[in-house]
Structure 1
Amino acid sequence: MKNLTIAVVATLSLSACVTINAPMDGTSNNTATQYPVESALLNIYTQNRTSTLMTMLGNQQISADITVAPKGAVVFDNKRVQSAQIRTISKIDDKVTNQTTSTNYYTLNPLTFHGYTDRSGEYSIATQTATIPKMATAIADKSYPLLTENVYSDSSKSQKTAVYRQSWSLTPDSSNSAWLCINTSENLLLATPVGSTSECYKINTKGQILSSKVSINVPNNNANNSTSTITLVSQ
């Protein structure tokens, strides 16, 4: 499934989907709280919502306006699925630098993400590794495998352009909130790493989104393959 950071990566002139599986691990901390992971993911990726992410990069303001809208039942990869559109408008100092529109495909009961398409013709197939849980416990410093995504130049699937691996984590924030993060690797087909990302949402015990942030790991242009992290936060 298309993540929400790809247009921001393009805006930063750098060289993407989420699905969740969540083991029901316990913890010795009696204050640990469980959160509705499935409901949170539905709120993030399939329900009507808008958000703006922003950061300063040097003396420039980088921002991304994100709109999610459900689009109903369609056929994707020979499957009857539900769809939701994500539109991202990226800006530098309020000047539009990039616009992307993609459509994510999923089924319900249980929630399963199948891939995405976008206006460029890109066609992605996501393989989910396990069933998304209704509830999961927030545990610090623990992440879980999530999916492998194969991206193609078009629906013929004759030319593979990217492979991504994803993991997820659910970290305590307060007595009634936690950070749900979806972590996406760099494109594994490239010899040089290009822009891994972490897309995080602060959620409450009802799975509602309280705030969000996106961190992009940016390769530096030097010989030692070092990286820098740019983080955009919701406004």
Structure 2
Amino acid sequence: MNIISSLLSKYPADQVTPQDFIDKLTIGNPGWQSAYLAVLLTVIFGMLVYIIPIYLTEKDHQGPYPLYMHTFYCAAYFMGIWVFLDTWSKNGHVVLFLLLAIGEAIWVLMEIYSLQRALTYEKDINWKPGTSFKTRLRDVIFQVLIFYVSLNLLRFELHDSTMWKFWIFTQILITTVPGLSLEKQGSRQGHNVWLHVTLICVVIASFNPWCNMWAIVAPKLFSPANNPWYYITGAVCLFFAVHGLIVYLKLPAKK
């Protein structure tokens, strides 16, 4: 009964502050090696979930992610640039926060590339054939705008000055949606086995209880004892990531 009560009505009271990043990610501080290992793994897999789709988009003229994922991530990364620049300017110009802002800018550029390909290569997938470029571009801008204001509202209401609470939602989407989208699509176009293996690795790196960067930076908020929903969500994400790989392996080979 205590477990059920905890799941239904327990809320972590701690916030994630810039000082948490400084304490956990300053070289020489206790545990900095495991912290950087967790961050490195997350960043590597985060790059691969873009590099592999870019290759697939050029090869198949179709990517693995639906349009709304690109507009969502474009808005989220754009928000991240200004959040981390603001944090950098208000916390002694610690280089870590500037690097995070630069990383967000790189991800925005990759999303702009992906959206350009969605507007051209995938135009007949995302819009009715014959839809003008002006209408397609307007739709993309509108979606980015809606996501941008909504995500900032969520960040504000969560008191999430570092986006550390919000950021895990990007991992949830990236690990669950592609497999479901593939199943609906019914063909391997825009996908390959390495992408779906990488998505499984993303789940493991993000949600394992021993070495994930969320729990390392903010253990009071993301430890299994304080936030069981985090790890329940991870188990669900793992299920759907593995499901996506199984769906891919069962589909006929590309022509």
Q: Which has the higher helix share?
A: 2
Q: Same fold (TM over 0.5)?
A: no
TM (norm. structure 1) is 0.27
TM-score by length of 2: 0.26
